[in-house]
Amino acid sequence: MSESSTLHRTPLHAAHLSASAKLVPFAGWEMPLDYGSILEESRAVRTYAGIFDVSHMARFWFRGPHAEQELDAALGARMTDLAVSKARYSLLLHDDAGILDDLIVYRTGEEEFFMVVNAANRERDYDSLSKRMKRTTLHDVTEDGGGILALQGPRSREILEALSGRSGFCPAFLDLATLELPKIGSIMIARTGYTGEQGFEIFFEANQAVSLWERLLELGAHPVGLGSRDVLRLEAGLPLYGHEIHEAVNPFEAGLRFGVRGWKTRNFVGSDSLRSLPEPTRQIIGFTAEKRVPREGYPVLCEGREVGVICSGIWSANLDCPIATALVEKNLEGPFTVSFRGKEMPVEVSPLPFVPHRSRD
């Protein structure tokens, strides 16, 4: 049996093939890496608008009168003040405060929550959360045939307005709305994304996928693959699980205190450990380089001493130079170099994000 025959496919698999996408395995799914050029697709999102199929992301429903209370005790983000039709970023922690995953929670009703987590962490997240849901129904709907399209870029608002047929239709940042579309049906739209751009994420059923995709293309959105998604999220200084965040990094080191708001007084998984942590001695910083891309795992040196490691590195389509993030010791002034095959490559510290965020515009 070939590898591709064992991979999950999104409802848009045939559409990707028709668009000449390069398909690659990713977290158990066959996903589009690009449609011809990662750099061109990245620029299209920054200057106009693009659509990504992110239906590989794991999706859970939580239902019941105790869902709010039990999720509040399981997650770093507070759930008790999350209003209906609102979304919130959160961290899921180990008892020792290491980061198990980062995720988005959407409150769809007084007793109902929808959660999107990283595809690679699906089973582990489900196991961790299910142990905490004593009186709440938890359903994994990742393989139920539906999916997610991310519409991102400065023209995404006008494309969404044209899609909706409603003048001025635009959910506010972190808002969730339901939209009824002719010939497509009811879809959920959230003002969320992973690019730093103005954008939206659209949740649909399997029988709506192709019609929705084709309509967004008709309205001018460019198809964009996961390769560009990684470029865009790194330009925006956003973390990726397994790179900037993982079990050996805590929220303070990762600069993600907003993912554990209320940690001083609330009780949730990992909160006791957070309260006992000393001030962090490591931090995530950004680098730019001149020619070669600093890659994940390359040692970072300061005045010849190893002080950290590269988390992510890529060629920035929009800055036209290599960029990288690194986990390094705090309170260092530099200069910094990155070790590669016995040679030291100079890098310059760059503020994060590398490009300004426009997600609230």
Q: What are the tens digits of pLDDT across the range 72-107? A: 999 999 999 999 999 999 999 999 999 999 999 999
Tell me which residue of 336, 339, 360, 331 sits closest to 348, measured CA to CA: 336
- Farthest-apart Cα atoms in the chain, separation: 63
Coil vs helix vs strand at 237 = coil
* pLDDT the model gives residue 5: 66
Strand partners, 87: 106
CATH top-level class of 281-350? mainly beta
* Beta strands in the chain, from DSSP E residues, in sequence order: 22-26, 29-34, 50-53, 58-63, 86-93, 99-109, 112-117, 137-140, 147-152, 176-181, 185-190, 199-204, 222-224, 282-288, 299-302, 305-316, 321-329, 336-340, 343-350
Global pTM value: 0.96
Render pLDDT for 4-37 as a digit per residue (tens, 0 to 9).
Answer: 569 999 999 999 999 999 999 999 999 999 999 9
Torsion of CA 334, 342, 316, 351, to 10 degrees: -10
Distance CA 194, CA 235 (A): 11
**Residues 141-156 pLDDT 10s:** 999 999 999 999 999 9
d(CA 10, CA 15) in angstroms, rounded, equals 10
What does the pLDDT read at residue 1? 39
pLDDT of amino acid 4 = 57
Residues of the chain with CATH 3.30.1360.120: 3-55+146-235
**Fold assignment, 3-55+146-235:** Gyrase A; domain 2 (3.30.1360)
- Give the C-alpha separation, 32 to 355, whole Å: 25
d(CA 89, CA 201): 14
For the chain, 361 residues long, give each residue's pLDDT as a single digit of tens: 345 569 999 999 999 999 999 999 999 999 999 999 999 999 999 999 999 999 999 999 999 999 999 999 999 999 999 999 999 999 999 999 999 999 999 999 999 999 999 999 999 999 999 999 999 999 999 999 999 999 999 999 999 999 999 999 999 999 999 999 999 999 999 999 999 999 999 999 999 999 999 999 999 999 999 999 999 999 999 999 999 999 999 999 999 999 999 999 999 999 999 999 999 999 999 999 998 999 999 999 999 999 999 999 999 999 999 999 999 999 999 899 999 988 999 999 999 999 999 999 8
Q: How confident is the model at residue 103, as a pLDDT? A: 99
As annotated, the residues of the chain forming the CATH 2.40.30.110 domain(s) are 281-350
